[in-house]
Structure 1
Amino acid sequence: MDWSLFDPTGHRKYLTAAERRAFIKAAMGQAPEVYTLCLVLKDTGCRLSEALALTADHIDTRTGTIVFRSLKKRRLGVHRAVPVSPTLLSELERVHGLRRLQDAPDGGASVRLWPWHRMTGHRRVKEVMAVAGVHGPHATAKGLRHGFGVAALERGIPITLLQKWLGHAKLATTAIYGDVVGAEERRMARKLWD
């Protein structure tokens, strides 16, 4: 498969750091559950379907990780843990009541945090993108995933760790995040100049 961070017309498919910040700022003005979905997508690089499948019992506040079930794998039981910030954990607690769900004797911990269909989640993300002024082929949940990958490499995260966080089977798939241009490429190159 020919993976690329650019569409056939040469437009990028990832959000820049400034667009990611604008996206979260716009999400803060939305319903709290829309904000937390946007925050999870931006801060973990997960797929929209993986976020929407998330339940309280897959958020480990002790280790500061979210455990995603890899829905793209052809077999069941494939999971990956992605470290998350204390801010994200506290927002998930504030909006969704993680501790209450995790302590519920009636199986509340296995209830999805966002009981939406994929199209509803997609619409929510597109609405926030529009408010943020982000338009184009990158104004999607996948654009956030790609933006996460670019940002991770830009900040020096080892590619093998990024591969694990994104749930890629092959390192060659993760390597596309090094295929950036413009400001991102210059920031990466600047590390060589110092």
Structure 2
Amino acid sequence: MSAPSSSFQWISTFLEAQAAELGAATNTQLAYGRDLRDFVDWLERKNSDLAGADREMIESYLVWCDAQGLAKSTRARRLSAIKQVFRFAFEEGWRGDNPAIQIKGPGRENRLPKTLDVPEVDRLLDAARSAGRTPLERLRNTCLMELLYATGMRVSELVGLPVSAARGDPRMLLVLGKGGKERMVPLSPPARTALADWLVARDEEEDSRRRNGHAASRFLFPSHGKSGHLTRHRFYLLIKEIAVAAGVSPAKVTPHTLRHAFATHLLANGADLRSIQTLLGHADLATTEIYTHVLDERLSELVHEHHPLSKPDRNG
């Protein structure tokens, strides 16, 4: 196969192959596309392109990224995209070499994920019950929060749930995760109750819309926007509003911190890592193991805060 005539055609063909052959998620493709376009723009300023770039140029680009103050994780992600596009180009015969193959990345910062303790989650769930301008919104918001904490779903998985997955008072939900992989997640009794209440209200609203000539939505959380369902961005803003109402710092609360709370609370109560890995949809157990460090750090904090031997003013 002959090489495309421009670097941007290289990127387009590479991303199409990622989607077709590996089932790369849309967000992954968008991230690769942004990173590679930044690299190509840099190459153009150096009067080069993907066809002519060599190892020295790639390393110079990474030095430039560092000088711009980009985080280690961002630089590591950009190098990963560059490595993959050059590997693809080599395999397709567009280049006779792979200039990125021996370049080592900067590594990732060892930051533990932010999480929430049980009382904070309880306050968020309580606040969700009164968050919203109408009874319909309050039922929806309660259902969203209960499902998120009960299942540990990614926010994209949650807002994109089809309504068919929730029919029949299910004990489990079938979730479509990254790369098109499916998994089952169990529902807690409070989540099942919130789901049942929301379905009744949602269906009544959908029936009313159909009588007015609107098409029925296939999503559990319908929206009038282009996607047809509540967007990740809207839910992100919504959860911040609920945090304020709950008296929990909004800086600590995102859809992903509820996912982290789900995992750390399970681990603290005796769940094994393999089970948590399955529930979260992690491809690699090493990703799940980070929660053991979160738990260790939290236990250490509790000892320092509450153990009598940790108090500096104790009597000898």
Normalising by structure 2, what TM-score? 0.49
Q: Name which of 252, 267, 284 aligns with 1:170.
A: 284
1:15 aligns to 2:131 (yes or no): no
CA contact (8 A) 2:172 2:187 kept: yes
Q: What secondary structure sits across from 2:270 in the alignment?
A: coil
1:56 aligned onto 2:159: no
CA distance in 2, matches of 1:87, 1:37: 12
1:89 paired to 2:192: yes
Cα displacement string for residues 59-78 of structure 1 (whole angstroms, at most 9, x for unaligned residues): 365650011110xx2x33x1
Equivalent-residue separation in structure 1 for 2:256 and 2:274 (angstroms): 20
**What corresponds to 2:226 in structure 1?**
none
- Which residue is 2:147 aligned to? 40
Q: Structure 1 counterpart of 2:143, which letter? A: T
Structure 2 residue identity aligned to 1:110: R
- Letter aligned with residue 130 of structure 2: G
Residue of 126, 142, 150 corresponding to 1:25 = 126
Q: Is the 8 A contact 2:243 2:253 kept in 1?
A: yes
Compared CA separation, residues 60 and 185, structure 1 to 2 (3 A): farther
Aligned 8 A contact 2:160 2:219 in 1: no
For 2:169 and 2:125, the matched residues in 1 are separated by 25
Unaligned runs of 5+ in 2: 1-107, 132-137, 223-228, 304-316
Aligned to 1:190: none
Distance in 1 between residues matched to 2:128 and 2:152, nearest whole Å:
16
Q: 1: CA distance between counterparts of 2:246 and 2:240?
A: 10
| 1:58 shift after superposition | 1.7
Higher relative contact order (CA 8 A, sep 6+): 1
1:56 Cα deviation (Å)? 2.2
Residue 289 of structure 2 aligns to a residue in which SS? helix
Match of 1:116 among 227, 230, 251: 230
Contact 1:45 1:144 in 2 (8 A): yes
Distance in 2, Cα, partners of 1:169 & 1:62: 29
In structure 1, the residue corresponding to 2:142 is in which secondary structure?
A: helix
**Letter of the structure 2 residue corresponding to residue 149 of structure 1:** A
How do 1:66-105 residues align onto structure 2 when only pairs under 5 Å count? 66-70=173-177, 73=178, 75-76=179-180, 78-97=181-200
CA contact (8 A) 2:146 2:190 kept: no
| Identity rate, percent | 27
Q: How far apart are the structure 1 equivalents of 2:158 and 2:110?
A: 23
Distance 1:79 1:4 in 2: 29
Query: C-alpha separation between the residues in 1 aligned to 2:300 and 2:140?
Result: 31
Deviation at 1:126, TM superposition (A): 0.9
- 1:65 is aligned to 172
Letter of the aligned partner of 2:175 in structure 1? F
- Give distance in 1, aligned partners of 2:169 and 2:142: 23
Name the CA distance, whole Å, in 2 between partners of 1:170 and 1:18.
Answer: 30
- Residue in 2 that maps onto 1:156: 270
Give 1:182's aligned residue. 298
User: Is the 2:171–2:192 contact (alpha carbons within 8 Å) kept by the matching residues of 1?
Assistant: yes
Contact 1:43 1:84 in 2 (8 A): yes
Aligned residues: 174
**Aligned-partner Cα distance in 1 for 2:216–2:172:** 19
Matched with 1:135 is 249
Tell me the residue number matched to 1:126. 240
Provide the rounded CA distance (Å) in 2 between the counterparts of 1:165 and 1:3: 24
The aligned residue for residue 10 of structure 1 is none
* Alpha carbons 1:5, 1:146 under 8 Å: kept: no
Q: Distance in 2 between matches of 1:34 and 1:28?
A: 7
- Cα gap change, 1:184 to 1:136, in 2 (>3 Å): farther
Unaligned ranges ≥5, structure 1: 7-12, 188-194
